[in-house]
Amino acid sequence: MIRELRTFVSAARRGTFAAAGQHVGLTQSAVSAQIKHLEDALGVKLFDRTGRSATLNCAGQRAVPLAEEILDIFSRMGTPDSANNFQGALRIGAIGSVQTGLLPQALVALKQRAPFIEVNLVPGVSLNLLSQVDAGELDLAIMIRPPFNLPKDLSVEVIAREPFVLIAARDVQGDDPLQLLREQPFVRYDRGSFGGRQVTQFLKEQHIHTQPALELDELDAIVKMVRSGLGVSLVPMAGMWLEHGSDVRVLRLENLTFFREIVLLSKYAQRQLPLFELFRACVMDVLDAAK
């Protein structure tokens, strides 16, 4: 029933079953089924349903703080009395921009709270990290959200949305991103990657035929190529290159902006472990501080 309570609280906080499903890694119908299971167990309706919409009713509003209290108690049941009681290893997979972005600060916080755990960091592209989590070779991964449905035993939580921007060398003239994409050589984000697929879809929607220059997957390397004058590129606002963003021109896409979603991926069983919850809390603290 803990799982249903988490889904209920997520739906209450986010306002819709669809948004709750996106947060907890379930389809809208699966969220609806869990809420129905919870209502049947309690013997009360928590939402008033009209057509395809569901609104939290009085019983649901009263239940939210109680559910949050139960979840808090459940979480504390598995939490050690002190950081020194955390033992074992945590196998973390991460894409390159996460390794040079939020992960260092999150790992510093983790070591401060649990100094005796061993962290094994595995770099990789999102598709490979997904396979490793699914195979049990990694405890979790921070990666780009896949553009397809995941196995049912995998949990995916969106933790960040990163807007794509156009970058160009400082001496490249022009302020129209679409025009620059048409006129300048294009340093392409690898089409085989999840983020690269989004770039390909954007170019297709805007009917833009680019002049190929290079194609690679590492964001910081792409920025270096652009900085050297090899062309322009579409990249997300993420990673180490932001610390040196003044070295390139950054043009916003305004109303054409598209995003890549960064997710925390694990198996559902893994999410219940205190060490996972501790690491997740460290990651969210870093993200909250950056807002």
41-67 pLDDT, tens digit each: 999 999 888 777 788 899 989 998 898
- For position 20, what pLDDT does the model report? 83
CATH 1.10.10.10 domain residues, the chain: 1-78
CATH 3.40.190.10 domain residues, the chain: 86-158+260-288, 160-258
Q: Which residue, 10, 48, 1, is CA-closest to 28?
A: 10
86-158+260-288 folds as: D-Maltodextrin-Binding Protein; domain 2 (3.40.190)
160-258 folds as: D-Maltodextrin-Binding Protein; domain 2 (3.40.190)
Digitized pLDDT (tens) for each residue of the chain, 291 residues in all: 888 898 988 888 888 888 888 877 788 888 889 889 999 999 999 988 877 778 889 998 999 889 888 887 877 676 555 545 567 789 999 999 999 889 999 999 999 888 888 999 999 999 999 999 999 999 999 999 999 988 888 999 999 999 999 999 999 999 999 999 999 999 999 999 999 999 999 999 999 999 999 999 888 899 999 999 999 999 999 877 777 667 899 999 999 999 999 999 999 888 878 889 899 999 999 998 877
Other beta carbons within 10 angstroms of residue 285's beta carbon come to: 13
Q: Which residue, 197, 220, 234, 6, is CA-closest to 97?
A: 220
CATH code, 1-78: 1.10.10.10
> Cα dihedral angle (114, 118, 123, 128), rounded to 10 degrees?
-100
- For position 29, what pLDDT does the model report? 86
- For position 79, what pLDDT does the model report? 57
